[in-house]
Amino acid sequence: MTASFPALRLRRLRAHDWSRRLHAENVLTPSDLIWPVFVREGTSEREAVGSMPGVERLSVDLVVEAAREAADLGIPAIALFPNTPQEARDETGKESANPDNLMCRACRAVKDAGIPVGLLTDVALDPYTSHGHDGLLSEDGRILNDETLGVLAAQAVNQAKAGADIVAPSDMMDGRIGVIRHALEAEGFGDVQIMSYAAKYASAFYGPFRDAVGSGGLLKGDKKTYQMDPANRDEAMREVMLDLEEGADSVMVKPGLAYLDIVARVKDRFNAPVFAYQVSGEYAMMRAAMDQGLLDRDRAILEVLTAFKRAGCNGVLTYFARDAAKLLAA
């Protein structure tokens, strides 16, 4: 070896486990995870989501157990999504404002149990409408943006009254963050956080989720007039800017893995709390590869979630949250 060989050998830092840990630039912990949980009617009921192996719809009493498990694992928050019965759905999604709907009953049950876990609730109409859209429809099938805002605000206040700590508008209507923030303040819920789905794309990766909440097959048309074009980056910056200006406490990019460039750009530009959702299609793809022995399950889970952290995420909504927390504790 000649004397001119570089004096700096980066492999020295990788030679031992202790050194790799010492020089890690990003560290994943259970505190970085939010666990999405699907809620169904019944008592002591578990129902497998066929398109998402390992994921179940849980009755309210079992949601309480899941919340307790999350707290025991160090997961700081769970995200609730209701599987509203078809008979409770209609064109206007009025069930979203029912104080005794599935979401509200689940929130109250967890709070009444005194479990120290944050509750994030989805604000959108698609789990409650008979047409599967996130907003009200005109007679000719257009999404009525402004008419939807009041319904979303009522939904958010309804969830706050039930004990939601974070309301998370996922509808992508223009102006909804400001309207929801004003409604929460007016009703005395100024401490309830808003995590805005600020950059939510019209993605092919949502199919299994729609099955899980009972909206699969209901959707009339598509959501391209209100969810973002996957080709766009600059538009995401404008969406995030508007939501932060309107009062969002944190923002979300959805989907996650295919949009890490958006996560990184949002973090670099705004330096605000940013989250990403590792969505159902991403989960289903990874799980299928794991089940066929094509991916090392444990390594793949932690590697992908670390990639979210590396891109700039403060946290990740992931169906692997419980698995990851157990791996990190091992």
Q: What is the DSSP string of 231-279?
A: T-SHHHHHHHHHHHHHT-SEEEEES-GGGHHHHHHHHHHH-S-EEEEE-
Residues in a beta bridge with 253: 199, 276
**Whole-number Cα distances in Å, 171 to 68, 76, 124, 177:** 29, 24, 5, 10
Annotated catalytic residue: which of 111, 161, 224, 254? 254
Q: How far is residue 30's CA from residue 251's CA, in Å, rounded to a whole number?
A: 20
Q: Is the Cβ–Cβ distance between 157 and 102 less than 8 Å?
A: no
Judged by DSSP in three states, 182 sits in helix
Q: Is the Cβ–Cβ distance between 280 and 205 less than 8 Å?
A: yes
Annotated catalytic residue: which of 111, 161, 200, 223? 200
Q: Is 239 annotated as a binding residue?
A: yes
b/e burial code for range 252-280 (CB count within 10 A of at least 16 → b): bbbbbbebbebbbbbbeeeebbbbbbbbb
To the query of whether residue 200 is one of the catalytic residues in this protein, the response is yes
* Residue 26: Cβ within 10 Å count: 13
Where in the sequence numbering do the catalytic residues fall?
Answer: 200, 254
Binding site listing for Mg(2+): 239
